[in-house]
Chain A
Amino acid sequence: MMDSDSIKKLYEGEPQALAELYDEFGGRIYKSALFLADSREEAEDMVQETFVRAFRAIRRFEGRSSLYTWLYRILLNVAHDLIRKKYVRKKFASMNRVEEFADPIEKLSASIDHDQFAQSLRAALACQKMKHRQVIVLRFFEELKLGEISARLGIGIGTVKSRLHHALKGIKKLIPNIEQYANRRD
């Protein structure tokens, strides 16, 4: 747990304090980044950029939220910027991925194991728009309530509900028998 001394050092721009911040939150941020990115390399770049931006902007951290929440917002901004940069490339990539993905979805059957399902889910997530991917990760990985997602993304609760609805619809469309799989697991 980062103590006030470490936070003070971070404010003073000491790189060693950044290492402590990374030790504390790097793993969690990295795991979320894996869902927001299209590849491991991209997730690594996102995490690196998140911490560098945090180091630059630490003086603007007012303590109104937890350090993790603040870091997570930076991560979401980094993810957003990344998508903006490769918008056109991404569009084509997603289209190809849907095609690659079509086959495994059909093969989802009673005998499916977790790894197969995880692979399909990862591909289905990757096909979603970034704004939908973000709400899925925040709702089901970070396990946040609507109000918390709204605060973290800086959007209204109505928008969160709408994005969540569309995101789930998008995933169900790509994995039509996801609910059967969920029932079986339950």
Chain B
Amino acid sequence: MTCKKMGRDMEAYLDGTLSAGRKAGFDGHLDHCAVCQTDLLRRQRLGKMLSGSLHKMVEGIEPPAKIVREVLRSAENEAAKSVRPTVLWPKFAAAAILPLLALALFFVFLQKRNAKAPAADFVEPGRASYLKLTTTHFAGPSSREWSVKRAYVKRSNGEAGSLTLELTRTM
């Protein structure tokens, strides 16, 4: 075993937790290495001194009574919190209202989207050939443009019939 490995194993050696094989190697090295012997002795003394000093530093010190009072006060608050009935109705109300509100907004949106085409009753019967030219007049109330998808005139017995327009939204 090398001195470097000795340094690595020293704490475990002091704990007595080295495996039998490593402990034998450690002891074997210690027998003939004065440097490691000194290191081990120094480490033992340092540990003993640190341990003794730390214990002596807090010897007889007791925690102030106010800590336990504060701890109990906090615990009582925690305990009270856990038994206090939770008021759930605002949460339920919010849970019920929000989807309804969303649904209502959705219907408003759909209604606007499917706004009816403006009536085309100012087109004179028999003037169907001019319709394409006049589609730009069909600006809806919500600034939507409409174009003629199909236009036809129903005639009966050679008399002027009614003009039917099928409109489609362009934007």
- Residues of chain A having any CB pair with chain B under 8 Å: 13-15, 18-19, 22-23, 26-27, 30-31, 34-35, 44, 47-48, 51-52, 55-56, 114, 117-118, 121-122, 136-137, 139-141, 143, 145-147, 161, 164, 168, 178-179, 181-183, 185-186
Cα–Cα distance between A146 and B79 once the two chains are bound (Å): 38
A186-B48 contact, Cβ under 8 Å, with A44-B67, A121-B57, A145-B15: yes
Q: Is the CB of A141 within 8 A of B49?
A: no
25 A-B residue pairs with CB within 8 Å = A13-B79, A15-B72, A15-B76, A15-B79, A27-B62, A34-B57, A35-B58, A44-B63, A47-B71, A48-B70, A48-B74, A51-B71, A52-B75, A52-B78, A55-B75, A118-B57, A121-B57, A122-B57, A141-B55, A145-B15, A146-B12, A178-B49, A179-B42, A182-B48, A186-B45
Q: Is the CB of B75 within 8 A of A15?
A: yes
Q: How far is the CB of A144 from chain B (nearest CB, A)?
A: 9
Cα–Cα distance between A9 and B57 once the two chains are bound (Å): 35
Q: Is the CB of A47 within 8 A of B63?
A: yes
Our count of residue pairs bridging A and B at CB distance below 8 angstroms stands at: 110
Q: Is the CB of B15 within 8 A of A146?
A: yes
Q: How far is the CB of A186 from chain B (nearest CB, A)?
A: 5
Cα–Cα distance between A48 and B70 once the two chains are bound (Å): 7
Q: How far is the CB of B21 from chain A (nearest CB, A)?
A: 17
Cα–Cα distance between A23 and B15 once the two chains are bound (Å): 31
Q: Is the CB of B51 within 8 A of A55?
A: no
Binding site of A, secondary structure by majority: helix, strand, loop or mixed? helix
Interface centre among B11, B42, B61 (most CB of A within 10 A): B11
Binding site of B, secondary structure by majority: helix, strand, loop or mixed? helix
Chain A contacts for B133, CB-based, 8 A: none
Chain A contacts for B8, CB-based, 8 A: 161
Chain B contacts for A117, CB-based, 8 A: 53
Chain A contacts for B79, CB-based, 8 A: 13-15
With A44-B63, A55-B75, A147-B17 known, 6 other A-B pairs at CB within 8 A are A14-B79, A15-B79, A44-B66, A55-B71, A122-B57, A183-B45
Q: Is B85 an interface position by the 8 A CB rule?
A: no
